[in-house]
């Protein structure tokens, strides 16, 4: 069997990282909690009943994989700049074809209705 070239290997690595990330229930919950509206990490943690540190770590991973993005910044009553996150993904399909995973990511087409 021929050695995969660097481009194929790179694409496989990204696909594999995304699939591994999305196999985690916490990651999926965080990603899809910001599908319909932008939220900050504290809002996500409270909604999903998970620790704030877990939310921050998950959001960092999702940003690195380009699955989530900072939609906007809001200023808190204390004057702090707070990131509001939004999912870039509306739907995910993972199939296996000839023992190789095939990943289809569909863009999030929902217009964000940001929280007050």
Within its chain, how far is the Cα of 70 from the centroid?
11
pLDDT reading at 115 higher than 70: no
Overall pTM surpassing 0.85 (yes/no) = no
pLDDT of the residue at 54: 97
Q: pLDDT tens digits, residue range 55-114?
A: 999 999 999 999 999 999 999 889 999 999 999 999 999 998 887 788 899 999 886 554
- CATH code for position 10: 1.10.10.10
Q: Which of 4-8, 44-48, 96-100 has the lowest mean pLDDT?
A: 4-8
Domain of residue 91: give its range. 6-107
pLDDT of the residue at 110: 80
| The total number of structural domains that make up the chain | 1
pLDDT reading at 6 higher than 50: no
Of 103, 82, 84, 101, the C-alpha closest to 92 is: 103
Query: Is residue 113, in this structure, part of any structural domain at all?
Result: no
Query: Is residue 74, in this structure, part of any structural domain at all?
Result: yes
Measured CA to CA, the distance from residue 64 to residue 70 in angstroms comes to 12
DSSP 8-state class, residue 35: S
Question: Burial, 108: exposed, middle or buried (Cβ in 10 Å; 0-12, 13-18, 19+)?
Answer: buried
């Amino acid at each position: 069997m021929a050695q995969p070239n660097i481009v194929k290997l790179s694409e496989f690595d990204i696909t594999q990282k995304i699939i591994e990330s999305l196999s985690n229930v916490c990651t999926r919950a965080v990603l899809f909690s910001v599908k319909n509206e932008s939220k900050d990490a504290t809002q996500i943690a409270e909604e999903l009943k998970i620790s704030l540190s877990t939310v921050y770590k998950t959001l960092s991973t999702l940003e690195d994989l380009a699955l989530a993005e900072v939609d906007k910044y809001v200023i808190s009553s204390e004057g702090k700049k707070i990131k509001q996150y939004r999912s870039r993904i509306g739907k995910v399909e993972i199939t296996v074809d000839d023992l190789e995973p095939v990943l289809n990511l569909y863009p999030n087409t929902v217009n964000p209705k940001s929280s007050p």
